Structure 1
Amino acid sequence: MFQKILIANRGEIACRVAATARRLGIRTVAVYSDTDANAKHVAACDEAVHIGGNAPRDSYLRSERILEAARATGAQAIHPGYGFLSENEEFAQACADAGIVFIGPPASAIKAMGLKAESKQLMEKAGVPLVPGYHGADQDPALLKREADRIGYPVLIKASAGGGGKGMRIVTKADEFEAALASCQREARNSFGDDAVLIERYVTRPRHIEIQVFGDTHGHCIYLFERDCSVQRRHQKVLEEAPAPGMSEARRREMGAAAVAAAKAVGYVGAGTVEFIAEPTADGDLRFFFMEMNTRLQVEHPVTEAITGLDLVEWQLRVAAGEPLPLKQDDLRIHGHAIEARICAENPEANFLPATGSLDVYRTPQAAQFERAVNVGDGAPSAPVRVDAGVREGDAISPHYDSMIAKLIVWGADRAQALARLDAALAQTHIVGLQTNVAFLRRVAASRSFAQADLDTALIERERAVLFGQPALALEVAAAGAIAHVLAHEAAGEGADPWSKRDGWRLHGAAVRRFDLEAEGTHHVVRLVRSHRGEATLTIGDRQWPFAATSRRSTQHDVTLAGRRWTLSVYAVGERIAVFAPEGSALLHTIDPIAHAADAAGEGGRLTAPMPGKVIALLAKAGDAVKKGQALAVMEAMKMEHTITAPCDGTVAELLYAVGDQVLEGEELLRLEAAA
């Protein structure tokens, strides 16, 4: 076994690898960019080496700097994590040439599976089922259009060198093909440096089911069952679970055998995932087609660990050190059910626009440490809740990297118990400082489709009515929590001096205290009225409720409104007050009523950057007449494209940035003169 390894990654996966290495007594070396100098993954390792600037291309994608760090620290092997260089055949080969073990498959396997078109041709020869499509090398747009017409719409355009949902477009009509192809190629070029695409029939109710495979250098290859990753947004996974609901044992064995055949076809070694698209058949079973192979550990590997009790990173290390696989296929068993939720900094209501900012409050449910979350194959039940994260309270989510904050993994004896634990754990996840998808994840898990395991990649769109535009925690409950928090902190700061008390004592009559709060952009005047007998009433407009509050801790308060009691967790950060309840959460802002009375009308005609990023396309020029909803510019941020559209009919007055420019959040990109 290795004495020291270098982890060529950051964030959650770097911390995850370091945890297993620590358990095995292996020393670890972290690498970090300027932004990550004080990051959690740096603290989690025994040593750390600075490798460059903030952008990935200046740090985590600089293979020569990473190899220099490995040589300088005496690391015998490099674990690439996922993303960055994990599926880079040149890096894997460079490690081999330098005499450093790459903890992953050989470069030849990465190359064989790296290009989707070539890999599908290889799978066809190996007898693995394929979706009808075009996987050829000729990339003439006219030919691609003819092939799409031949296959029949809807079709899926996919970047041949792609992954992670980037460089992918669904086309439902022939007249939409050219624009979709151009957008897909542009994103593929920016993300992978290769704009080659393939075209496939789009399966209309597809389930995304993947098989975890493992190979060693002794010729053994097995599968560790399946994961259902059908719940996706923007072609990226949201919730993953294992095993796949409704999977028959016969189909599980068939898909597992196909995945092993795919791995053996390229001489695979280490952890990999063979991804399939599955669709229901008339008899209620599943028909499946090979989609791609990810030649690395997957983000969602913890659900496989939860149902098997195995540490997949330990397996990676042992296989890379030349050991045989620890178990045989017949030794493996499924125990219970596990679900993983990806907690991301993003705004689901704005098409999942990534968010940046500081984790002013970051509280997660009581969770098992990694060492107690897996049981090294002893068959014992897994920990009910596990949190994998690469951040701490006070850390910032940077625009330079992925928007994922943490992974919340729950295990249950069956799917129903896992679902209940997922909702409870999400309710106990409190994040303040930036927008997150926590409330959205709770709604997805509670939706009819997910609860009943009616799964496919269109689930979010199908359940749109219950997933978007839903009210947060009731205003009166949120306001009551905010007031209870203010009163508790005022009381905690008061001494015995009666002249300093702020309890509004009166000789007779009632004391009235006004709170001006903003909720979801609306100003509310909330009044707390106390009678001379000490009874309190909360009023908002013409509604009122008898009110009482007591505090357990500085952030936890018991509030009673009209005889109903809530236990609320409340956090105040500047003018923001975040209120969390088992039913939901709300974010309030305290406002100055005098300042609020000023005219707050927005500046007309301004089109601003929704977040920090780079301008990658300008689709109109000064003087152009445009229609409401017309695409005017495209930005790239956090590995995703974001299209800026015209808010009304008008004329482009001025372009303020050029293609390639970096812009800050809120910066004006162009000016639009509204039509008369």
Structure 2
Amino acid sequence: MFSKILVANRGEVAVRIIRACKEMGIETVAVYSEADRNSLPVALADERICIGGNAAAESYLNQKNIISAALATNAEAIHPGYGFLSENAGFAKLCEENGIVFIGPKSEVISAMGDKDTSRQLMQQVGVPVVPGTEVLKDVEEAKKYAKEIGYPLLVKATAGGGGKGIRVVAREEDLEDAFHTASREAESAFGNGEVFLEKYLTHVRHVEMQILADQQGNILCLGERDCSLQLNKQKVLEETPSPVMTEDIRRKMMDAAVLAAKAANYTNAGTVEFLLAPDGQFYFIEMNTRLQVEHPITEEISGVDIVKWQIRIACQVPLNMKQEDIRLQGHAIECRINARSTGRVDFLHIPGGGRVHFDTALMQDTVVVPFYDSMLGKLIVHANTREEAIRRMEASLCEMVIVGVETNIEEQLQLIRSKIFQKGNYDTLILDKILKKG
């Protein structure tokens, strides 16, 4: 087992990784920007080292400084968390070249699965269903030709990146050219790759993802699904597991497809295979996230499997000690992302508690919320025996949570939890605006 791990991230995910390491007897190194000098992960780690200025490009995206910090502190491995460099194949390769273990899949796997065109073709080859669409397009004229075959509405999608960037919905032929160029420019700016392709735009679908763990001996486990359909601007707001519309038959087929996808990619470590689930029960592969997911705790709640600890063990070549039939998914878990709507100092903080309630966060009283990074302050997570009980527990917990000094989305989350649409489980990827407007 590793004796020391550098955590190349910040905020609640850095706290999560450091705590897992402490429980495993592993020393940790926290890297931090000037803005995070007084943060919780810096206080919790065994060692700490500043890697640059406030901006992410100067610090958490500064590959040279992070590698230098690992070498200077004799860290054997780097855990990238999520975001920042977690899906950067170049950084994973840089770790490998410097004799540092990257806690995640191999650089070539990150590269292949991070390219939507490459991953899409691979899934087609092994029989995993994909959304009807094209390969990478040469120009807008080729896009117009294929658009007539696919039919409107459709999506112009970047092959690289994620987070909703480089994606445009096109309802009419006359809008295609502008959408093509806009998506390409946005993708080039965000990911350094302006390549795009077309995909059929499916309506009234749910965004369902399957969590997998794959060791270096070829064993693969699927820990069930998470329903991530409730999104604003392609950003997830609330996740739950199991999905309220999932049947045992569809779950089994989707789990089999996720395992098949992982095998085809020669995948190791923790990963997530994402699907769109149509009302008729048909599902389609959309992408594979080659990292820890923000919403991983709800899977841990219902499966009893510590995903972060297994990431570390697998990176250390420890084989999985479970088989698929050993996995028992119990109860229902919900996660609400608590986001900042402003910057400023947290003057007062009260975190809800009670049985099977926790708030994953790096917030402390007097923490200054800065404008340089993602707006998420933490994740409120509840677990209960039934979905109805979990909903009531989440409502009570949201009512109890108090963050003074910074505007948040707590009231929006309450509105969502209390809405009839959510309580009936009758929602899809396009319905959140309707819920927040009408309740």
Indicate the TM-score class for this superposition, using the shorter chain for normalisation: over 0.9
Shift of 1:91: 1.1
Query: Residues 181 and 44 (structure 1 numbering): CA distance in 2 closer, same or farther, change over 3 Å?
Result: farther
- Partner Cα distance (2:144, 2:41) in 1: 46
Residue among 438, 442, 461 paired with 2:410: 438
Secondary structure, counterpart of 1:280 in structure 2:
coil
- Partner Cα distance (1:230, 1:183) in 2: 25
Letter in 2 for 1:441: Q
- Partner Cα distance (1:181, 1:321) in 2: 44
Query: Residue in 2 aligned with 1:544?
Result: none
Question: Higher mean Cα deviation, 184-193 or 262-271?
Answer: 184-193
Letter in 1 for 2:105: P
* Corresponding position: 1:305 with 2:300: yes
- Partner Cα distance (1:193, 1:71) in 2: 28
Aligned pairs (5 A) from 1:109-120: 109-120=109-120
- Partner Cα distance (2:29, 2:82) in 1: 17
- Partner Cα distance (1:139, 1:28) in 2: 47
Query: Residue in 2 aligned with 1:202?
Result: 201
Query: Residue in 1 aligned with 2:168?
Result: 169
Shift of 1:464: 4.5
Query: Residue in 2 aligned with 1:362?
Result: 349
Query: Residue in 1 aligned with 2:438?
Result: 466
Contact 1:273–1:296 (8 Å) recurs in 2: yes
Contact 1:307–1:338 (8 Å) recurs in 2: yes
Q: Which runs of 4+ in 1 moved over 3 A?
A: none
Letter in 2 for 1:322: Q
Query: Residue in 2 aligned with 1:20?
Result: 20
**1:295-328: per-residue Cα shift (whole Å, max 9, x none)?**
0010000000010112110111111111001211
* Corresponding position: 1:336 with 2:338: no
Unaligned runs of 5+ in 2: none
Query: Residue in 2 aligned with 1:534?
Result: none
Q: TM-score, normalization: structure 2? A: 0.97
**1:566-622: per-residue Cα shift (whole Å, max 9, x none)?**
xxxxxxxxxxxxxxxxxxxxxxxxxxxxxxxxxxxxxxxxxxxxxxxxxxxxxxxxx
Query: Residue in 2 aligned with 1:81?
Result: 81
Letter in 1 for 2:249: A
Contact 2:87–2:114 (8 Å) recurs in 1: yes
Aligned pairs (5 A) from 1:361-400: 361-366=348-353, 383-400=355-372
Contact 2:239–2:334 (8 Å) recurs in 1: yes
Query: Residue in 1 aligned with 2:133?
Result: 133
Aligned pairs (5 A) from 1:647-658: none
Please identify which structure carries the higher helix content. Answer: 2
Shift of 1:267: 0.7
Query: Residue in 2 aligned with 1:325?
Result: 320
- Partner Cα distance (1:430, 1:166) in 2: 32
- Partner Cα distance (2:202, 2:419) in 1: 23
Contact 1:106–1:269 (8 Å) recurs in 2: yes
Letter in 2 for 1:172: A
Query: Residue in 2 aligned with 1:453?
Result: 425
- Partner Cα distance (1:436, 1:185) in 2: 33
Query: Residue in 1 aligned with 2:399?
Result: 427
- Partner Cα distance (2:377, 2:83) in 1: 15
Letter in 2 for 1:16: R
**1:147-204: per-residue Cα shift (whole Å, max 9, x none)?**
2333111112222112122222222222222333333223222221212122211111
Shift of 1:97: 1.5
Query: Residue in 2 aligned with 1:658?
Result: none
Query: Residue in 2 aligned with 1:265?
Result: 264
RMSD value over aligned CA atoms?
Answer: 1.3
Query: Residue in 1 aligned with 2:238?
Result: 239
Give me the identity figure in percent.
49
- Partner Cα distance (1:317, 1:101) in 2: 10
Query: Residue in 2 aligned with 1:154?
Result: 153
- Partner Cα distance (2:132, 2:152) in 1: 12
Query: Residue in 2 aligned with 1:616?
Result: none
Contact 1:33–1:53 (8 Å) recurs in 2: yes
Letter in 2 for 1:253: R
Query: Residues 49 and 310 (structure 1 numbering): CA distance in 2 closer, same or farther, change over 3 Å?
Result: same
Query: Residues 168 and 362 (structure 1 numbering): CA distance in 2 closer, same or farther, change over 3 Å?
Result: farther
- Partner Cα distance (1:246, 1:26) in 2: 41
Greater length-normalized contact order (CA 8 Å, ≥ 6 residues apart): 2
- Partner Cα distance (1:438, 1:145) in 2: 44
**1:360-387: per-residue Cα shift (whole Å, max 9, x none)?**
22222125xxxxxxxxxxxxxxx52011
Query: Residue in 2 aligned with 1:650?
Result: none
Secondary structure, counterpart of 1:38 in structure 2:
coil
Unaligned runs of 5+ in 1: 347-354, 368-382, 468-676
- Partner Cα distance (1:464, 1:362) in 2: 25
- Partner Cα distance (1:402, 1:192) in 2: 17
* Corresponding position: 1:401 with 2:373: yes
Contact 1:443–1:466 (8 Å) recurs in 2: no
Please identify which structure carries the higher strand content. Answer: 1
Q: Which has the larger radius of gyration?
A: 1
